[in-house]
Structure 1
Amino acid sequence: MRNAMDRDCSDVAPDRVLLTRYRLAERIGIGACAAVFRAEDLRLSRPVAVKVFSAGPTSWESELAILARLQHPFLVTILDCGVWAEELSAPRPFMVMEYVAGSDLRAMIAKHSTGMPLAKVARLGWVLAQALETVHANSVVHRDVKPANILIDTSGLPKLCDFGVSRLHDSAEATIPGITIGTASYLSPEQALGEPVHASADIYSLGLVLLECLTGVKAFPGSALEASIARLLRDPVIPEWLGSEWSQLVTAMTDRVAADRPTATECTEALFELQLRQAAHAA
């Protein structure tokens, strides 16, 4: 069954040229209020990703404001934006981003059903924690850190993407009481309760992502309702075989008390130390 965004994008088709510059290729993603296309920048002869928003009211201005503040090697970069009106049933805001060739962390996890190598996860986490340092330093909360939003480039390095549900810390509309925003399997407890969220919510989600990388399974599987309720009742199960260092870090990151979680900077430092120890152990 076609969703509302699918119907809304029926006149945004491959081979169309946006503003005489961006030629759309295949659609590579679709969400509740936007669709993403692989495209070619005809002026600079380079691949890009074009995000076309719904014709109706959306949060696109908020997303653009967020992304314009964020510059980091491990964050997907915004290149251009505007409103596309030519030959469409209704004007649509759009955003042009760097195109990350490769796949995403979901595919990488699927290839390691019993878990990825510890050293590889330590490096992955170290990179993502650095990205979140920049996000949080700019007073932004991502609110949807999950494997599908972590792109893996051809060199194996991750880039955090999709700030569609992010909010600025200082925004008056940062959280609507009682409304849950994010993906159920990776929500923090405060998100599951529809409470105001802060940077610590991203740390919780990253902790669950790293645990899934280490074990090959989601910490809170099941339906959206089951997954949301489970994290309110228990902590994620951390296997003993991961060792004390991993156990202590993931336990801290997924503390149900938001104020007790480490910051992104503290996670970066801890994951860097884990890399060094595991490299020394391997040698």
Structure 2
Amino acid sequence: MARHVRGTDALGGRYRLLEKVGAGSMSVVHRAFDEFLEREVAVKLIHSSAADDAELRRSDVEVKLLARLTHPGLVTLLDAGTEWTPEGLPRIFLVMELVSGPDLRARLKEGPLPATRVAEIGHDLAEALDYIHGRGVVHRDVKPANVLLLDDPVKGMDSIRWTRAHAKLTDFGIACMTESVLTLEDAVSGTPAYLSPEQVRGEVVTPASDIYSLGLVLLQSLTGELAFPGPPLESAVRRLTQGPPIPETVDPLWRELVVGMTALEPAQRLTAADAAAALYRLAALGAVGGPIALGGAGTPAALGAQPASLGS
């Protein structure tokens, strides 16, 4: 049952808010301490001023989706609830596992990532998408800010030792079930720089929309630049008629993969499983120091011959 709380009270009687670790247009994320289990967690608070009927519905969808999704590449939902302030405003909160690393957006402010790191991060995300797509869920907002990084590569004192990069996908606030009938507002929801062509047109989204967005995220991670820069409308309209420009400096295998993920027609894009297999191969090639170059075949299908699983 909801209860009235003061600003200093612990949420749900147990979650003590600490510093802010992230923010969006509708919510803010705090590091918090679970006083019952004595552990740190992340708490996402929906802004009271933004908690209209639509936002309440989106937060309810996010809670219900996350409650039935369990995968290493997804941020785990631990608890959720709504409390009412003395002013009569709802205070919606989601309690999630705390990921100590930065998000990919913050990391990319330092410049592009090494290709092997991009492959490792992309592999985790593609496997997570394969998992949710298999359960009828489309994320609809795959972007760097929604990718949390767990491990950074390090160089040992005596020899080169790379810790495998890990990533988790978060923020299911505008996720939907496959082939859901959406309102016009919902159909064009998402972040303009990463929308698929069908999202720009306001059409029904499918898992292929997430693959397109992930392709743009991978390309940006390799180059350090947005694939479609500029004002939102201009950026969105360009991707209706052309694929993302890929610099000549991008390796041919990566070029093939990105092209396969960002085809204009959804039916022509790779599946999440295909992308995960291709990214596994790219990560493995980089990890052993082998050249990432076209061999006997340079298609994503050829890259996908390896098992889609990477160890630590």
Bin the TM-score by the shorter chain. 0.7 to 0.9
Q: How does 1:16-55 map to 2 (within 5 A)?
A: 16-53=9-46, 54=48, 55=51
TM superposition shift of 1:274: 1.4
Aligned partners of 2:84, 2:247: CA distance in 1, in Å?
54
1:236 aligns with one of 244, 269, 275? 244
SS in 2 for 1:205: helix
SS in 1 for 2:52: coil
2:146 aligns with one of 127, 149, 155? 149
My pick for the range that moved more, 23-32 or 63-72, is 23-32
Asked if the contact 2:16–2:32 (Cα under 8 Å) also holds between the matched residues in 1, the reply is: yes
TM superposition shift of 1:88: 5.3
Change (3 A) 1:171 1:231: closer
Gap regions ≥5 residues in structure 2: 153-164, 292-312
Compute the RMSD of aligned alpha carbons.
Answer: 2.1
Change (3 A) 1:123 1:117: same
User: 1:186-216 CA distances to partner (integer Å, 9 max, x unpaired)?
Assistant: 1100011111110000000000000001111
Gap regions ≥5 residues in structure 1: 1-10
Change (3 A) 1:31 1:178: closer
Is residue 261 of structure 1 aligned with residue 269 of structure 2?
Answer: yes
TM superposition shift of 1:149: 0.5
User: 1:220-258 CA distances to partner (integer Å, 9 max, x unpaired)?
Assistant: 011111211121132111123322211111001010111
TM superposition shift of 1:87: 4.2
Residue in structure 2 matched with residue 8 of structure 1 by the alignment: none
Change (3 A) 1:12 1:221: farther
Residue in structure 2 matched with residue 56 of structure 1 by the alignment: 52
1:135 aligns with one of 132, 140, 149? 132
TM superposition shift of 1:170: 5.7
Residue in structure 1 matched with residue 303 of structure 2 by the alignment: none
TM superposition shift of 1:133: 1.1
Aligned partners of 1:248, 1:199: CA distance in 2, in Å?
20
Residue in structure 2 matched with residue 76 of structure 1 by the alignment: 75
Residue in structure 2 matched with residue 106 of structure 1 by the alignment: 105
2:254 aligns with one of 246, 250, 254? 246
Aligned partners of 1:171, 1:152: CA distance in 2, in Å?
30
Asked if the contact 2:241–2:264 (Cα under 8 Å) also holds between the matched residues in 1, the reply is: no
My pick for the range that moved more, 46-55 or 140-149, is 46-55
User: 1:156-182 CA distances to partner (integer Å, 9 max, x unpaired)?
Assistant: 421110111111126444x53894111
Residue in structure 1 matched with residue 229 of structure 2 by the alignment: 221
TM superposition shift of 1:38: 1.9
Identity of aligned residues (%): 45
SS in 2 for 1:271: helix
SS in 1 for 2:285: helix
Q: What residue identity is the alignment partner of 2:255?
A: S
Residue in structure 2 matched with residue 7 of structure 1 by the alignment: none
Aligned partners of 1:179, 1:159: CA distance in 2, in Å?
25
Aligned partners of 1:138, 1:88: CA distance in 2, in Å?
40
Aligned partners of 1:45, 1:116: CA distance in 2, in Å?
36
SS in 1 for 2:184: coil
Q: How many residues align?
A: 269
TM superposition shift of 1:51: 2.0
User: 1:242-281 CA distances to partner (integer Å, 9 max, x unpaired)?
Assistant: 2221111100101011110011001011111112223344
